[in-house]
């Protein structure tokens, strides 16, 4: 069980500033750590991490996600409103699956962020397959090199199917040209973009209140958002 908490505005502002210079995967991990700092997110599955990100998204910015989908075949675009409960797929009953082919028995597990980081560092896609596969024949462990190449695609497919969160996508049919476009939303990228918008708007509030009342950033951040907005209304009335 994770012990999550909704991060305070100060922590969100600090995170926004720190995360500007890190890679998308590192960003997703650090955002998940804001939600629950006691979990070693790098070694949890990608699905588990993304479910945490969507849960944090719902707590911070609400349970509905608005997105624009552009048709891949014509100039039409569509506004989608999705519930976070549609984007966050249910946790599978197991993070691993067993499959066999002839005398070979494979134990496959869902990939973690560490697997992806290793793949990005030079191992390539195959590195994920290698890390997530153990193989036995007659109860004896074999090395990954013993796996016939023609089985790789099948094993990759099985790994992708372990957790419905991984590679989650929606097919949207265009009302104008009937072509289906695939819509994907990366939880980390999406949440970071929203965090950025939210922080810029918070900075604007701080700026206006500091100018009007001479308060410090700390003082303004200690106010509830309701109180900040109420003061802002007064400032705007006066202007």
Instruction: Single out the segment in contact with Zn ion by CB under 5 A; choices: 1-9, 67-75, 78-86, 211-219.
Output: 67-75
Helix spans in 104-213 (H) = 113-118, 125-132, 152-160, 187-213
Nearer to Zn ion, 71 or 129 (CB): 71
Task: List Cα–Cα distances, 160 to 111, 113, 163, in angstroms.
Answer: 9, 14, 7
Measure the CA–CA gap between 3 and 211, rounded to whole angstroms.
38
> 46 near 163, Cβ under 8 Å?
yes
Q: DSSP label at 121? A: I
DSSP label at residue 112: B
Single out the residue of 55, 135, 174, 206 in contact with Zn ion (rule: CB under 5 A): 174
Give the residue, chosen from 22, 154, 177, 203, that forms a contact with Zn ion under the rule CB under 5 A.
177
Name the residue nearer to Zn ion (CB basis): 177 or 182.
177
Told to check if 11 binds Zn ion by CB under 5 A, we report no
Q: State the DSSP code for 147.
A: S
Rg of the chain (C-alpha set) = 23
Q: Among residues 179 and 234, whose Cβ is nearest to Zn ion?
A: 179
In angstroms, give the least distance from the CB of 76 to Zn ion.
5
Q: Near Zn ion by CB under 5 A, which window of 120-128, 136-144, 176-184, 189-197?
A: 176-184
Q: Would you tell me which residues interact with Zn ion (CB under 5 A)?
A: 71, 73-74, 76, 174, 176-177
């Amino acid at each position: 069980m994770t012990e999550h908490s909704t991060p305070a505005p100060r922590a969100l502002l600090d995170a926004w500033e720190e995360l500007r210079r890190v890679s998308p995967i590192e960003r997703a991990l650090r955002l998940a750590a804001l939600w629950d700092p006691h979990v070693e997110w790098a070694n949890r599955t990608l699905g588990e991490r993304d479910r945490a990100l969507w849960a944090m998204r719902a707590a911070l910015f609400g349970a509905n996600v608005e997105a624009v989908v552009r048709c891949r075949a014509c100039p039409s675009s569509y506004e989608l409103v999705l519930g976070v409960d549609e984007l966050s797929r249910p946790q599978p009953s197991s993070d691993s699956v067993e499959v066999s082919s002839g005398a070979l028995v494979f134990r496959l597990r869902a990939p973690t962020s560490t697997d992806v980081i290793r793949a990005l560092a030079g191992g390539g896609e195959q590195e994920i397959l290698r890390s997530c596969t153990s193989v036995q024949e007659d109860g004896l462990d074999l090395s990954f090199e013993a796996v016939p190449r023609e089985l790789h695609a099948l094993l990759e497919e099985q790994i992708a199917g372990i957790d419905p969160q991984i590679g989650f996508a929606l097919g949207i049919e265009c009302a104008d040209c009937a072509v289906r476009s695939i819509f994907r939303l990366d939880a980390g990228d999406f949440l970071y973009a929203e965090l950025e918008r939210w922080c810029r708007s918070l900075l604007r509030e701080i700026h206006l209140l500091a100018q009007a009342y001479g308060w410090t950033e700390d003082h303004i951040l200690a106010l509830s958002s309701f109180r900040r907005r109420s003061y802002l209304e007064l400032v705007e009335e006066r202007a």
